[in-house]
A and B are shown apart, each in its own frame.
Chain A
């Protein structure tokens, strides 16, 4: 007869290894589960239509606008829009990752969990980083094929790094906007405006030197701005602009920090006012 070994609780806290594994599991498994549950555009028609075809058609719109106005060449619009194409998935995804918990009535259960908030929320951003990267690569490849633009092969690894940094920064930006979903009802309203503002202020479609100084300053602290510049430089054969990538990563880190602070602040406020699930 088999004997069952009773579970014994030694009473000691788990070691650093177990804590790390547990946190990683929360990041990866929790992130994947929340992506499946909370991202509204995972069905193939929505993913293809909204996240792949939409940005590509938007890119073509701006390329033809640029050709008409002779403000900049195709390369400028192509690279700028390929970088900014990640914003649909990252901004809306980051928002949905937090705001939809409240919308679907599961926020209370999530916040009852004793788990550390940083891996809990950052795990949710990772699928959108990957989504953003896939979308940018698709948009860039499809647009290059359609418009006949050539990018030097040696620039591709650097371009991949720039697009990854852009997607990471933009996802952190989306998460920070999503944090507002703990406090405000119509957070998608903010996401819509933010997504449009990125088109204007990041220099994806308007050369930044033609914008007023205050708009350039705002663009400097937005995600995608530095990545768009670095991507253009790379595709023109100018080599990898390390400062551009670092600036993009720092911007993303700033939004990640802002997201953590806002999430903690709004969580505490919601508990105090008992307004966690009030829509």
Chain B
């Protein structure tokens, strides 16, 4: 498959799945309403802490949490949904590599997650008078898509591992809060025990969050946004590469054991 065809496939796939998910009330609830509750909770907590200067950080942090939740459940559901719909075998049997079929789904879940970011920031501005004084507005607009892209690629690795598990949700459900925590989406990673640092550094979500937060809050130079953006993209690409390798192995194993629909 040529690069142009692969890019076209990803583009068309993302558009299709974003349209499909945007029509699902459950997806919209996850993407908008639940993050709004977390944003409200964060704003009241930051207010209670007498830290009104960081209310925008709280709203943006809640938005990042929403993006991750969307990717996590979307990626878990990416394979499970195909399994339930009975289309997983057809997708695996098609000449298009499975990774290129799944990547648009996981990217689309991250794009749907940006609804959360938009909703929480607007919610904060309209209801809580949070001033939208981003330190680097243009870099913020660049950092969010980069974060979305890296999370989408991370989602591909999740989806790849979930192909093997019938109860993918069992793994997805408890992964929500630890990644919020380890990535510093709302709580700085400096609060966590030292042994968690290597885990944090290995997550694209950490670097994506760092870039978005640096672009949001004052005092950070452009370099503090651009470098984490680069690391997030690099790590995301590494996760995607790992996902391709895992998917190849998983696919061969599932074909050999004839357990794709049952795995």
Contacts and interface: CB of A to CB of B under 8 A. Distances in A.
B199 interface: no
A67 interface: yes
A93 to B, nearest CB: 14
Interface stretch (A104-112, A198-206, A244-252): A198-206
A68 B191 contact: yes
B171 interface: yes
B187 interface: yes
- Tell me whether chain B's interface is mostly helix, strand or loop, or mixed: helix
A188 interface: yes
Contacts of B174: 49-50, 53-54, 57
Interface of A: 43, 45-46, 48-50, 53-54, 57-58, 60-61, 64-65, 67-71, 186, 188-189, 192-193, 196-197, 199-200, 205-207, 210-211
Interface of B: 25-26, 29-30, 33-34, 37-38, 40-41, 44-49, 51, 165, 167, 169-171, 173-174, 176-178, 180-181, 186-188, 191-192
Contacts of B45: 65, 69, 71, 205-206
Contact of B188 (A45, A48, A68): A68
B187 A206 contact: no
Contact of B37 (A54, A71, A193): A193
B30 to A, nearest CB: 7
B26 A57 contact: no
B37 A64 contact: no
A152 B29 CA distance: 41
Give the residue among B173, B186, B192 with the most A Cβ atoms within 10 A. B173
Contacts of B186: 65
B90 to A, nearest CB: 25
A51 B6 CA distance: 40
A196 B173 contact: no
